[in-house]
Chains A and B, each alone.
Chain A
């Protein structure tokens, strides 16, 4: 029973963690939460399912086109809905409404283009979703793949922040104006972050689709859990996002088993409230102070 809870919790938690990381990628250099991020994840899932399942495209083509397209949509989001707002006021918050508008546009467009029905993304047979029994628990190769891949992706993102470009992103995150004085171009980093954050969201959508199906409901579904993982882990902290994702997934799974499946949402938000009451900046977040 415990193994059962762990497997499901870690698999679901991995998805929540990856969505949270995709938020963080954009947040670090811009201090912007992209409310369309869930829809970018959904867009990735829909495009990948259409290419691989409907068109029968090879995986390399599917992955390349999906990541490229969602990355471009991410960049377009920055150009249209974020940059104009930040140009007017670097610490303004008009992006809340403008990114929500982008979310609606993407959701409506995807609905009209792809239709109302969910699409299935069948992974390669080596990582199939069909289950086998281990120690009395049903596990699928895909769940194992997802659980193993997630920390690798988080480590890869963290590694990037140790490069020169990554350090520039961290510098902008620390102090946008100060970084500008040191010759760093925050606008360029902002564009790159949205491009890469879009690609990462597309990848998360591809990873979610075999378990959750590609449909327009996928975006809002993962958006909330991603937000919760960001808040619990600490805004901008990827390791925190990973731990928070696991905590959320396991708590949901345990809650579903111990209480009832209907308690999953309640467990998520009670847990979030309790953690934030004890640590208001999240598990690994740092208090921010801005001197003016």
Chain B
């Protein structure tokens, strides 16, 4: 008779089970603070709040939630939404696309029809595939152009600019204002980086610039060889589309090591504190990044009261220190305030009624600019909302952490 037992040499069942329990405990430990999803009650207005509380991306993505926390507090201080206190229902997605459908299902079962999050294009794609069918109205921290397509995602509102707008602004500044015709593009291999670099290449080609592109894998141990290649190509300026702060820091470190400090125009990571600490004042003067006009100052422009108040609110959150600009660039703050405006106006929580109103919302003055939506156009800001700013202007007391000076020629 054949012995059908499976023999696992050296691995004992009890050891395996004990270790598995230990591993499961370790994985669950950091997430103990996550609230469970409860059914919608009559007292509060529950909003799904998908954020990263555990996992390897927890520390990097955690600050992005601050804008939503500030908005929830402000809305509740102003009497809530349609007379109900807003209750954010926190759900930890670990920044994992695979977890999104399950979280959407949880929201659906709990009768939650409005959500903020997740963060990241891959997670957003996964979440929206499920939430669109469930008719959950949401905003995600994802800049891809597809996320503003009202036909594709009718219940999603992109409350910030998209990659096409930001890349175009960066490329135009490089060529039209700085006068650079040989441009190097340093990008990571994430969806956001690739899409940004693709759009920038198109614009640069239209403007007659020569382009050299280096794609740095997000897991690359060393950015220096890529930077060296750009230098060897004769690039006179660099467009940087790397989302990871450590990798961006490595790229700048390589530039310092090579004593090669060309003008660099980058995404909002470029405004983060570690890069400021790394570079000399001289090198910092050559760095620019795109930001929102409302978060800048110039000889003729000053930030508004809403923006100044937001800058003060950021100071109450220790985790926001040094990451003020990337936090403000998210869509959460404006979306939550827009929900209040529209629901208070309609005096109903019905998603279809709110969507109909949101689809025609015009001229809403938000933190990031003036929002206009149509049923087809769910990216609410136009190109004029974006400007290029000087990284070095953080040293000016006007900065207050959040604000930057518009770059010359803006």
Contact = CB atoms under 8 A, between A and B. Distances in A.
Nearest to A96: B19
Contact of A94 (B11, B30, B259): B11
B245 A221 contact: no
Contact of B18 (A94, A115, A120, A221): A94
**How big is the B interface, by class?**
35 or more
Chain B CB within 10 Å, residue with most, of A110, A116, A253: A116
B63 interface: yes
Contacts of A191: none
Interface string B263-276: 00000000011100
B257 A117 contact: no
A104 B29 CA distance: 10
B186 to A, nearest CB: 11
Given A119-B274, A216-B59, A131 B14 contact: no
A126 interface: no
B62 interface: yes
B57 to A, nearest CB: 9
B150 to A, nearest CB: 33
B274 A138 contact: no
A163 B9 CA distance: 35
A112 B22 contact: no
A261 B59 contact: no
Contacts of B356: none
Given A89-B10, A116-B62, A261 B278 contact: no
Interface stretch (B152-160, B209-217, B285-293, B346-354): B209-217
B56 interface: yes
A84 B216 contact: no
A264 B221 CA distance: 9
A94 B17 CA distance: 9
Interface in B43-79: 54-56, 58-63
Contacts of A100: 23
Contacts of B18: 84-85, 88, 94
Interface stretch (B109-117, B119-127, B222-230): B222-230
B15 A92 contact: yes
Given A111-B58, A130-B256, A262-B217, A95 B229 contact: no
B245 A215 contact: yes
Main secondary structure of the interface of A (DSSP, over half): helix
A64 interface: no
B314 interface: no
Given A88-B12, A256-B225, A108 B30 contact: yes
Given A112-B59, A221-B219, A261-B225, A215 B15 contact: no
B27 interface: yes
Contact of B12 (A92, A97, A215): A92
A131 B245 CA distance: 23
B164 interface: no
Interface in A75-117: 81, 84-85, 88-89, 91-98, 100-102, 104-105, 107-108, 110-112, 114-117
A176 interface: no
A88 B26 contact: no
Nearest to A140: B257
Contact of B26 (A85, A104, A116, A215): A104
Given A213-B249, A264-B220, A117 B256 contact: no
Nearest to B244: A217
Contacts of B375: none
Contacts of A238: none
A221 B221 contact: yes
Contact of B27 (A89, A104, A220, A225): A104
A249 B222 CA distance: 11
A129 interface: yes
A213 B253 contact: yes
A102 B25 CA distance: 11
A129 B257 contact: yes
Interface residues of A, number: 55
A213 B12 contact: no
A95 B322 CA distance: 39
Contacts of A108: 30, 54-56, 58
Contacts of A129: 253, 257
Contact of B56 (A91, A118, A216, A265): A216
Contacts of A253: 225
A85 B245 contact: no
A92 B222 contact: no
A81 B60 CA distance: 27
B319 interface: yes
A215 B246 contact: yes
B98 interface: no
A8 interface: yes
A98 B23 CA distance: 6
A111 B19 CA distance: 24
A170 interface: no
Interface string A194-216: 00000000000000000011011
B277 interface: yes
B256 A91 contact: no
B46 to A, nearest CB: 27
A96 B10 CA distance: 12
A94 B246 contact: no
Contacts of A216: 56, 59
A118 B23 contact: no
Given A94-B16, A94-B19, A212-B222, 14 more contacts: A12-B221, A12-B222, A85-B18, A88-B12, A89-B15, A94-B18, A117-B273, A117-B274, A138-B258, A138-B259, A140-B257, A216-B59, A221-B221, A256-B225
Interface of A: 8, 12, 81, 84-85, 88-89, 91-98, 100-102, 104-105, 107-108, 110-112, 114-120, 129-131, 138, 140, 212-213, 215-218, 220-222, 225, 253, 256-257, 260-262, 264-265
9 closest Cβ pairs, A-B complex: A111-B59, A94-B15, A261-B225, A101-B26, A256-B225, A97-B19, A94-B19, A101-B23, A116-B60
